[in-house]
Amino acid sequence: MEVEVVDVAEGLWLWRQPHPAWEEGNDWDPLVTSVAVVSGGVPAVLDPLAPPPRERAVWERVDALAPELAVILKPDHVRDVDLFARWYGCRAYGPSLFWPDDVPSTPVEAVHPGMELPGGLLALYDGRGMQETPLYLPEQRALVFADALTAPDGVLRVWGTPWHERRVLPALRELLALPFEHVIVSHGQPVHDRPAFEAALEREPWSRWDGA
């Protein structure tokens, strides 16, 4: 399958491709999202998964971006940050802890909710307790999530946890104070708008048992 490229806003685009580690029965879609953005003059990639070498058109866009920053949004989204750091000299940011079998060799500066990264990217709190730090991109008025929200069958939903009502919904509702217009997620339909985010907060959370 060819890599899909989607332009979201000025200075913000993404590419989508199958994850090589996906297996039948996983509770996430095989297609995953990687994000490219220029904010405050700083070119960055978020949760980058390297396209296959044959996808020259995508690589030409990445080369033109010349990312200086690579951000891992969640411990199990390390993906190809080492490759991007090696090829482009990216400064890497991400969680303070990783899964034992998925630790990047690149030095990673820890990201915490409320922290402002180079380019003005703002790390957020999602309430799920899984070390995910979604990002707010102020120039593009966009929220970027790893797994806090997902969109199976194109419908945006919050990924379920046992503390959905108590912690997650209050944290996500606080994000409504930000003037965002776009919402990007890793799994399912990648791009949504603000009304879709508001509607997601009213839906039942998604879980693998939904059969979605």
Q: Are 117 and 123 in contact (CB under 8 A)?
A: yes
Q: How long, in residues, is the chain?
A: 212
Domain 4-210 superfamily per CATH: Ribonuclease Z/Hydroxyacylglutathione hydrolase-like (3.60.15.10)
Mean predicted confidence (pLDDT) in 165-175:
97
Query: Whose CA is closest to 69, among 106, 14, 96, 32?
Result: 106
| 18-59 per-position pLDDT tens digit | 866 655 555 556 789 999 999 999 999 999 999 999 999 999
pLDDT-derived band at 211, boundaries 50, 70, 90: very low
Spatial separation of the C-alpha atoms in residues 31 and 101, rounded to whole Å = 22
**Domain ranges (residues) in the chain:** 4-210
Q: In whole angstroms, how large is the CA radius of gyration of the chain? A: 16
